[in-house]
Amino acid sequence: MNSPLHSPISRRRLGLAAAGAALALAGCSTRADAGGGRQSRTVSLLLDWNPNPDHVTLYTAQHTGAFSRAGVDVAIHNPGNTADAAKQVSLGQVDLAVSYEPDTLIAVAQGLQVISVAALIPACLTSLIARKSSGITGAADLGGKTVALSGLASQKPSVEYIARKAGVDPATITMPNVQQSLDQALLTSRADAVYGAFRNIEGIELAEKIPVTVLPAIELGLPNYSELVIIANPKRLHSDAAYEARVKAFLKGLATGQATAIADPSTAVAAMTAPTKGSYDKETLARMVRATIALLGKNFGTQKGSDWASFATWMHANGLLDRKIDGATAMTNTYLP
């Protein structure tokens, strides 16, 4: 993943075909706006990563026909480069994208035309996962431990912040960069813990192999934030009535998908089975989907401006934003059903 507060661990790798799919998005919006009929209903959506349980609401809506009933056809694309979502939305090359609250704030600070129109996963997923044998049960136990990172620039500052908040000297924590081998670092005891994994995915995968303690970053002192969000182009929302209507219809269908997933997890698992084929076994996928559904909440998509403002302030104070911004301006609930 590309979020500054999250790193890939044993995720599905982006296929070579994804780059071509992403490039093909360049004409999607123009075609959708240019003519009537079926094409005028099309919404192009760029994922943040290959399909995985984080996308359960989206695929449940697609699987059950909720998007069609809402009046849109959703074309889902895997990203060629996970860092390009905000740029493609800003340039109008794709209608919507799945992104992250931290990335959205960074994009806004850089002047890109993006705004979060819904929280897809309205909870922090990024976690510190420790071997139970390490004795780590909270941030206060990190002193003298080895916490493996994947090398993202924000991870070390985040762990240092967590440690200081718990009264631990960050200098006493060893933080090796193991890049894509976070899971192996934990499984082979090269590290006491790893930071950056998602509790609803890697937390479940690792727990099937060794006894672990999963500590969400928000429980370790980070401000509250939504891990995954749906981003749109605010300039287009204000100037293009057809685009605005499609975004509203998309969110209406997505809300129905979430309601269905919560009410009938077995349908949600079925919806994720084909898109994730070859990535998980049946039982593991079911556990991941149910763990994700438990984090969705009842009020689909709703975001709190105060949370976004607080998180933006925290990011700037910890060197993750180059300039101060009002985080509340990076989100809106206006287009939710």
Give the start-to-end residue ranges of the domains of the chain.
17-123+226-330, 126-220
Tokens found for residue 42: 């099309």
Is pLDDT of 23 > 70?
Answer: no
pLDDT at 302 over 90: yes
Read off the pLDDT band of 118 (50, 70, 90).
very high
Q: Comparing 17-123+226-330 with 126-220, is the CATH topology the same? A: yes
Phi, psi angles (nearest 5°) of residue 271: -65, -30
Phi first, then psi, for residue 129 (nearest 5°) are -115, 120
Letter for the amino acid at 18?
A
The whole-angstrom separation of Cα 326 and Cα 337 is: 25
Residue 23 neighbours by CB under 8 Å, 6+ apart: 80
Strand partners, 148: 194
Percent of the chain whose pLDDT exceeds 90? 79
For position 40, what pLDDT does the model report?
62
- β-pairing verdict for 96-100 and 42-46: parallel
Phi-psi region of 127 (alpha: psi -120 to 50; beta: other; left: phi over 0): beta
- Name the band, by pLDDT with cuts 50, 70 and 90, for residue 225: very high
> Do 194 and 185 touch, CB atoms closer than 8 A?
yes
Nearest to 285 by CA among 53, 130, 22: 53
Q: What is the distance between the alpha carbons of residues 283 and 267, in angstroms, rounded to a whole number?
A: 14
Rounded Cα–Cα distance for residues 312 and 208 (Å): 35
Q: In the predicted model, what is the mean pLDDT of residues 216-235?
A: 95
For the cut 90, the answer to whether the pLDDT of residue 114 exceeds it is yes
pLDDT at 33 over 80: no
Q: What is the pLDDT of residue 51?
A: 95
How does pLDDT run across 153-162, given as a tens digit for each residue? Answer: 678 889 999 9
For 264-278, the pLDDT digits (tens) are 999 999 999 999 999
pTM: 0.86
Q: With beta carbons less than 8 A apart as the criterion, state whether 216 and 124 touch.
A: yes
Mean pLDDT across 98-108: 93
Closest to 327 (Cα-Cα) out of 299, 308, 303: 308
Contacts (Cβ under 8 Å, ≥6 apart) of 200: 53, 54, 125, 288, 291, 292, 295
Of 245, 128, 144, which Cα lies nearest the Cα of 193?
128
pLDDT digits (tens, 9 = 90+) for 136-190: 999 999 999 999 998 766 788 899 999 999 999 999 999 999 987 888 999 999 9
Q: Could you give the 3-state DSSP secondary structure of residue 175? A: coil
Give the length of the chain: 337
CATH topology of domain 17-123+226-330: D-Maltodextrin-Binding Protein; domain 2 (3.40.190)
Q: What is the mean pLDDT of residues 65-88?
A: 90
Report whether 123 contacts 168 (CB < 8 A): no
Worst-scoring range by mean pLDDT, 27-36, 98-107, 123-132? Answer: 27-36
pLDDT at 294 over 90: yes
Average pLDDT over residues 308-319: 94
Locate 112 and state its tokens.
Answer: 């890109």
How confident is the model at residue 210, as a pLDDT? 97
pLDDT for residue 12: 37
> At which residue do the structure tokens 């139970």 appear?
132
Mean pLDDT of all residues belonging to the chain: 88
Residue 32: what pLDDT?
Answer: 39
> Which of 296, 302, 304 lies closest to 259 in space, CA to CA?
296
Q: How confident is the model at residue 196 (pLDDT cuts 50, 70, 90)?
A: confident
What is the architecture of the domain spanning 126-220?
3-Layer(aba) Sandwich (3.40)
Nearest to 210 by CA among 286, 134, 126: 134
Note whether 54 and 228 are within 8 A (CB): yes
| Residue 71 pLDDT greater than 50, yes or no | yes
What mean pLDDT is predicted for residues 37-60? 88
User: How many DSSP H helices and E strands does the chain contain?
Assistant: 14, 9
Is the predicted pLDDT of residue 4 greater than 50, yes or no? no
